């Protein structure tokens, strides 16, 4: 029996005279054949179980054939099959359509040529290149090559002492982060390999499981390893499958050469005639299950019973990718660590593949098909290939073992690329929270990953949530801004305790401290947020259909010099370039800050969830805070803040506190909430009270009010929303200094209020967005304390009440001057 010439790629070299050749197909897992070179006998390798030892020179013979053929494109044909040997197929293999592999092996002395008996010749079980093989063997004998050496010690020294290694002892002998080289002898799954190890000798010797001393100087260890940080689909899952069951590969049948396509006479001569004959006759392997004229034996499909393990979806694809890049190759490895079961985890770096037949000839990219980063020697990370092709998922325990700084971040980014491509194990992935393909991680209309949000922080809701007013470059004097443009941002991958609220006055322990830390650091500052993922959460447990969008981002507070640049020039700083994988120098990373103080915890994400690009760094910061026993890890929780809310208590109760507040003179406080353009809720820490406060003598436009309490609805006055946005950015959650002068009949305290510190509102970008130049210059002249009433008047958002004598107020002269300048410039409410 003789098939036509077929094309393939050498995938494995089991011994010195046997090759496993996979087909050249455009996609999927290709079929393969196990071919024994006709008329050759190589020494037999030993078995790991010790039932058979190496024959002399068996390992060297296999190594020669491996280095010659592994990964190389070839053409071959099956020339005969011996049923008594388990239907073993024998044939001829050529590299580059010219180099006869069997002749190369014989000429280097690594195999013997079988005696061609008359029965074998009659049964056509002799290689058509028998004469060339005999001549090559004679030359090798004359040169004493390989098996034919006359060195009396070479035969004994060529036999391996094959031992199973204890993974734990082997790792301890190496040390974490140690680099070594090994040969991949077996691929059990896409992320599980068996290595053949010779060096370092000390580590191999210390890990030998048997107590017997080595029987030779050639110690060869076998150790099972797992690719650190990833897990490919399992090849062994209990269940029933209808996949073909066979000894090697369960792929489709090999196609045959069409009628008349074989080599005439079945014999190919050497030299140019050989190359010409094969190139004219070779056919690419085709999947041809319906070809009844095929002379190639097809695979019989048998249903696997339930007692035989089956594989997870895409397990065979992951295994084939690893086989293509690693099987029988010398790979570089980094010892990463052991799990609690003693399994050894390594980083596997594979060499570049040899040139392959073009996809037009039926060959894909061997499972790579993606852009991978290779080092100067052409080695690439196997985990990168698996993750980008969607043939593995990240595993937190394995990522924690990686010794290379920032490696976990790269692995998650590779996984994201594979997930976004919706291939492999992600082919049916619908996104977090059931989002359809194309949605941004569970939110159909959320901002895309990587979107930059630049602006000023106007509110801190909790230790992990803030509100940003987007930056608007160089607004004009007529530019207006409302609160509708504000963006609520959650800090990626952390959770802080909930602070006290109206519905939950006590809050969670450390919630108030976490919010205060973020408020003092970020409110009024220019920040840069990079969106990393979004979530869609229900508005209430009762109605899951009504949802709201949460945007998660990494947020950094600009450096002081950058803050000044934005305020003075009105342009966002162009440098340093924003980084997606590291904290920008001189900036404050808010998530890191809260974790460092022990006032938040990192979120334990599911495997398929997006997370912060700095997740590994954040976890390290959290661990430092935990070991320092601060914040959430402290032995005692902080005292619960006790706050008396006079803003909701009524005028009678508020009036009881008026004398105390008046006698206190200048009082330090924090604006808890902006109720309207001129009325705020103010927290006075010294007295432990929340009061309603408004500046004396000014009136701002009234916002629209719905009908309530028997009163009709009212329409908004001109610039009411803009005035509210201005006051919100200028005052909200800012440290202020107030002087209480009086109280109105509604229980609102009246007086003067000055904003402490720089940034925010004031004639410019954020709040009212008004004239940048004049407002900015006046702010600088005033220093750090800015009078609230004066700012409202100067920017055309208020006017002095007609029944008030401004000269009776402490800041009356400034108020009159501010109103006059706004009228002359016809700003906002004075435009007509």
Could you report the per-residue pLDDT of 494-542, keeping only the tens digit for each? 999 999 887 787 889 999 999 999 999 999 999 999 998 898 888 776 7
Question: How many angstroms separate the CA atoms of 237 and 543, rounded?
Answer: 39
Return the residue matching tokens 């852009």.
371
* CA dist 565 → 570, 571, 575 (Å): 7, 7, 11
Coil, strand, or helix at residue 826?
coil
H or E segment at 690? strand 689-695
Q: Is the pLDDT of residue 579 over 80?
A: no
Taking the C-alpha atoms of residue 562 and residue 484, their distance in angstroms, rounded to an integer, is 26
pLDDT number for residue 678: 93
Which residue in the block uniquely carries the two structure tokens 């593949």? 353
The pTM for the full model equals: 0.68
Band (pLDDT 50/70/90 cuts) for residue 248 is: very low
Residues composing the chain: 832
CB 83: neighbour CB atoms within 10 A?
Answer: 7
Question: To the nearest 10°, the Cα dihedral for 57, 60, 64, 65?
Answer: 70
Mean pLDDT in residue range 412-431: 86
Sign of CA dihedral 645, 646, 650, 652: positive
Structure tokens at 22: 């996979």
Rg over CA atoms, the chain: 39
Q: Are 526 and 454 in contact (CB under 8 A)?
A: yes
Of 194, 183, 167, residue with least CA distance to 332: 183
Q: Please, which residues have CB within 8 angstroms of residue 161's CB and are 6 or more apart in sequence? A: 214, 215, 216, 218, 219, 220
Structure tokens at 323: 């086989």
The whole-number pLDDT of residue 462 equals 94
- The closest of 480, 496, 488, 414 to 446, measured between CA atoms, is 488
> In Å, how far are 495, 514, 641, 690 from 508, measured between CA atoms?
12, 10, 11, 20
Residue ranges in 649-806 assigned as alpha helix (H): 651-656, 658-663, 720-731, 772-782, 788-794
- Pairing mode of beta strands 487-491, 547-557: parallel
CB 749 within 8 A of CB 661: yes
Mean pLDDT of 454-464: 94
Position 241 confidence tier, pLDDT thresholds 50, 70, 90 = very low
What digits encode the pLDDT tens for the residues 88-139? 999 999 998 789 999 999 999 999 999 888 887 877 888 999 999 999 999 9
In this structure, what DSSP letter does residue 688 have?
A: T
Report which of 570, 761, 736 is spatially closest to residue 668, judged by C-alpha positions: 736
**Which backbone phi and psi does 478 adopt, to 5 degrees?**
-105, 0
Residue 478 scores a pLDDT above 60: no
Predicted local distance difference test score (pLDDT) of residue 536: 84
What is the average pLDDT score of the chain? 81
Q: 407-420 and 615-627 helices cross at what angle (nearest 10)?
A: 140
With CA atoms as reference, report the closest residue to 658 among 788, 748, 787, 752: 748
Q: Is the dihedral of CA 818, 823, 829, 831 positive or negative?
A: negative
- Structural tokens at position 195: 């290595």
Burial class of residue 273, CB neighbours in 10 A (0-12, 13-18, 19+): exposed
The DSSP secondary-structure symbol of 360 reads G
Rounded Cα distance between 227 and 173, Å, is 19
What is the predicted pLDDT for the residue at 537?
Answer: 82
User: pLDDT tens, 460-476?
Assistant: 999 999 999 998 875 54
Above pLDDT 90, what percent of the chain?
A: 50
In this structure, are residues 644 and 652 in contact, taking their beta carbons and an 8 Å threshold? no
Give the number of other Cβ atoms within 10 Å of residue 209's Cβ.
11
Q: Of 64-73, 265-274, 648-657, which has the strongest mean pLDDT?
A: 64-73
- Average pLDDT estimate for 16-45: 91
Q: How far is CA 669 from CA 500, 645, 735, 759, in A?
A: 18, 14, 6, 18
What is the full DSSP assignment across 31-92?
PEEEEEETTEEPPPPP-TTSSSPPPTTHHHHHHHHHHHHTT-EEEEEEEEEEGGGTSEEEEE
**Beta bridge pairs of residue 74:** 8, 95
What 3-state DSSP class applies to 733? coil
641 vs 630: CA distance, rounded Å = 19
Which range, 366-370, 477-481, 551-555, is most confident? 551-555
**DSSP code of residue 237:** B
**pLDDT at res. 251:** 44
Helix, strand or coil, per DSSP, at residue 570? coil
Task: Tell me what the mean pLDDT of segment 728-756 comes to.
Answer: 93
Q: Whole-angstrom Cα distance, residue 362 to residue 26?
A: 5
């Amino acid at each position: 029996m003789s098939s036509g010439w077929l094309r393939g790629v050498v995938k494995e070299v089991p011994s010195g005279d046997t090759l496993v050749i996979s087909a050249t197909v455009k996609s999927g897992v290709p079929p393969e054949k196990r071919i024994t070179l006709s008329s050759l006998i190589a020494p037999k390798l030993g078995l790991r179980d010790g039932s058979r030892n190496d024959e002399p020179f068996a390992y060297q013979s296999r190594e020669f054939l491996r280095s010659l053929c592994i990964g190389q494109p070839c053409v071959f044909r099956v020339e005969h099959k011996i049923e008594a040997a388990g239907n073993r197929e024998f044939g001829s293999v050529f590299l580059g359509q010219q180099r006869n592999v069997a002749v190369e092996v014989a000429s280097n002395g690594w195999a013997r040529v079988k005696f061609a008996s008359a029965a074998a010749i009659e049964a056509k079980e002799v290689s058509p290149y028998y004469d060339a093989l005999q001549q090559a063997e004679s030359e090798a004998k004359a040169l004493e090559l390989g098996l034919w050496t006359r060195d009396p010690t070479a035969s004994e020294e060529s036999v391996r002492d094959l031992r199973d290694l204890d993974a734990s002892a082997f790792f301890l002998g190496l040390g974490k982060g140690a680099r070594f080289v090994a040969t991949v002898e077996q691929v059990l799954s896409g992320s599980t390999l068996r290595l053949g190890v010779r060096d370092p000798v000390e580590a191999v010797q210390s890990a030998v499981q048997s107590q017997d001393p080595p029987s030779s100087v050639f110690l060869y260890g076998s150790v099972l390893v797992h690719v650190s940080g990833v897990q490919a689909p399992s090849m062994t899952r209990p269940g029933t499958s209808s996949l073909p069951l066979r000894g090697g590969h369960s792929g489709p049948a090999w196609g045959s050469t069409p009628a008349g396509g074989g080599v005439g006479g079945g014999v190919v001569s050497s030299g140019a005639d050989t190359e010409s004959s094969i190139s004219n006759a070779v056919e690419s392997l085709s999947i041809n299950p319906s070809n009844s004229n095929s002379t190639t034996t097809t695979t019989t499909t048998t249903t696997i019973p339930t007692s035989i393990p089956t594989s997870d979806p895409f397990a065979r694809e992951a295994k084939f990718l690893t086989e293509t890049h690693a099987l029988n190759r010398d790979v570089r490895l980094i010892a990463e660590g052991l799990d609690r079961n003693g399994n050894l985890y390594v980083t596997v770096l594979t060499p570049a593949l040899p040139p392959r037949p073009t996809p037009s000839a039926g060959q894909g990219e061997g499972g790579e098909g993606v852009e991978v980063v290779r080092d100067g020697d052409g080695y690439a990370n196997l985990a990168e290939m698996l993750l980008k092709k969607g043939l593995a998922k990240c595993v937190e325990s394995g990522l924690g073992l990686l010794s290379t700084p920032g490696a976990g971040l790269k692995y998650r980014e590779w996984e994201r690329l594979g997930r976004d491509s919706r291939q492999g194990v992600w082919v049916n992935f619908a996104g977090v929270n059931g989002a359809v393909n194309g949605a941004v991680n569970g939110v159909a209309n959320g901002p895309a990953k990587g979107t930059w949000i630049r602006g000023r922080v106007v509110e801190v809701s909790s230790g992990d949530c803030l509100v940003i007013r987007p930056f608007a470059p160089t607004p004009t004097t007529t530019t207006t801004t409302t609160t509708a443009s504000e963006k609520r941002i959650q800090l990626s991958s952390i959770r802080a305790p909930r602070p006290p609220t109206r519905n939950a006055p006590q809050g969670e322990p450390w919630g108030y401290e976490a919010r205060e830390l973020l408020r003092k650091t970020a409110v009024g500052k220019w920040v840069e947020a990079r969106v990393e993922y979004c979530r869609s959460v229900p508005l209430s447990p009762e109605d899951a259909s009504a949802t709201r969008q949460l945007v998660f981002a990494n947020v950094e507070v600009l450096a002081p010099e950058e803050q000044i640049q934005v305020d003075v020039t009105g342009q966002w700083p162009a440098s340093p370039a924003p980084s997606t994988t590291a904290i920008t120098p001189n900036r404050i990373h808010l998530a890191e800050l809260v974790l460092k103080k022990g006032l938040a915890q990192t979120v334990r994400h599911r495997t398929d969830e997006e997370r912060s690009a700095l997740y590994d760094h954040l976890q390290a910061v959290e661990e430092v805070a935990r070991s320092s026993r601060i914040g959430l890890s402290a032995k005692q929780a902080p005292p619960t803040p006790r706050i008396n809310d006079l803003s909701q208590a009524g005028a009678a109760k508020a009036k009881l506190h008026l004398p105390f507040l008046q006698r206190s003179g200048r009082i330090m406080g924090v604006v808890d909430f902006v109720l309207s353009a001129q009325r705020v809720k103010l927290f006075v820490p010294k007295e432990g009270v929340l009061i309603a406060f408004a500046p004396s003598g000014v009136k701002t436009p009234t916002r629209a009010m719905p009908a309530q309490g028997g009163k009709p609805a009212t329409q908004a006055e001109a610039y009411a929303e803009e005035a509210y946005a201005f006051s919100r950015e200028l005052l909200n959650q800012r440290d202020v200094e107030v002087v209480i002068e009086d109280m109105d009949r509604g229980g609102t305290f009246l007086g003067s209020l000055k904003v402490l510190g720089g940034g925010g509102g004031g004639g410019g970008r954020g709040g009212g967005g008004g004239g940048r130049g004049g407002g900015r210059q006046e702010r600088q002249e005033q220093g750090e304390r800015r009078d609230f009433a004066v700012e409202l008047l100067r920017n055309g958002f208020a006017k002095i009440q007609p029944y008030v004598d401004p000269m009776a107020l402490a800041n009356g002269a400034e108020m009159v001057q501010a109103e006059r300048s706004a009228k002359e410039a016809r700003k906002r409410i004075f435009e007509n």
